[in-house]
């Protein structure tokens, strides 16, 4: 039921272009922060200098280009992407379930093979150390407790999702209504 609600849910308005662009700039800042924690990641991306990538899901799209420093910048709307990654799952609930389970979402890949391999390497090896960043703000112990609590919540949510899937798969199918 929840899944059908989210599939049919449409925003009552289209966000203004400036809000979309500002949100994308914030995402680029976060991604660059994470990339700077891993020198091998920036090394790999520096080889892709000047190339661009488009990530899209339904009506949402995000186009970035790779800089000489091995970081990301928003690509202009006229830039032709060298790599296009399209999330094929249409349901936001299913995307969230796969994320909670630690799975990669289904993606259709079009474009440069070497760039796709580097992006895949990034998704496999680069992780954001949230606890270390949070510790700089609130201290080590509160950061550890907060992150540990979130991990336990995510594990409980993952178990709940797994139980829901197994219950749905094991439920007897009714032949007809009485």
For 48-53, what is the mean pLDDT? 94
Which is more confidently placed, 79 or 171?
79
pLDDT, the chain, mean:
82
Domain residue spans of the chain: 2-128, 131-169
Question: In the CATH hierarchy, which fold is given to the domain comprising 2-128?
Answer: Nonspecific Lipid-transfer Protein; Chain A (3.30.1050)
| DSSP assignments along 14-46, one per residue | PPPHHHHHHHHHHHHHHHHHHHHT-HHHHHHHH
Rg (CA), the chain: 20
Q: What percentage of the chain reaches a pLDDT higher than 70? A: 83
Q: What pLDDT is attached to residue 15?
A: 82
What average pLDDT score do residues 102-112 get? 86
The pLDDT of residue 27 is: 93
Instruction: Please check the confidence at residue 102 and state whether its pLDDT lies above 80.
Output: no
How confident is the model over 137-162, as pLDDT tens digits? 888 888 778 878 887 887 787 777 67
More confident residue, 6 or 56: 56
Is pTM beyond 0.75? Reply is no
Tokens at 151, concatenated? 């991990």
């Amino acid at each position: 039921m929840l899944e059908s609600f989210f599939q049919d849910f449409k925003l009552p308005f289209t966000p203004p272009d400036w809000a979309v662009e500002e949100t994308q700039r914030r995402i680029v800042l976060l991604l660059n922060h994470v990339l700077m924690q891993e020198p091998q990641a920036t090394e790999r991306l520096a080889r892709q200098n000047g190339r661009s990538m488009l990530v899209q899901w339904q009506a949402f799209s995000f186009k970035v280009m790779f800089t000489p420093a091995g970081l990301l910048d928003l690509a202009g709307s006229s830039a032709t992407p060298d790599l296009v990654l399209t999330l094929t799952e249409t349901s936001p609930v299913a995307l969230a379930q796969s994320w909670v389970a630690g799975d990669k979402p289904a993606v259709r890949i079009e474009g440069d093979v070497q760039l796709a391999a580097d992006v895949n390497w990034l998704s496999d090896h680069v992780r954001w150390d949230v606890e270390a960043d949070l510790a700089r703000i609130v201290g080590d112990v509160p950061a550890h407790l907060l992150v540990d609590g979130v991990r336990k919540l995510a594990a409980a949510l993952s178990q709940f999702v797994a139980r829901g899937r197994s219950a749905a798969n094991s439920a007897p199918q009714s032949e007809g209504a009485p």
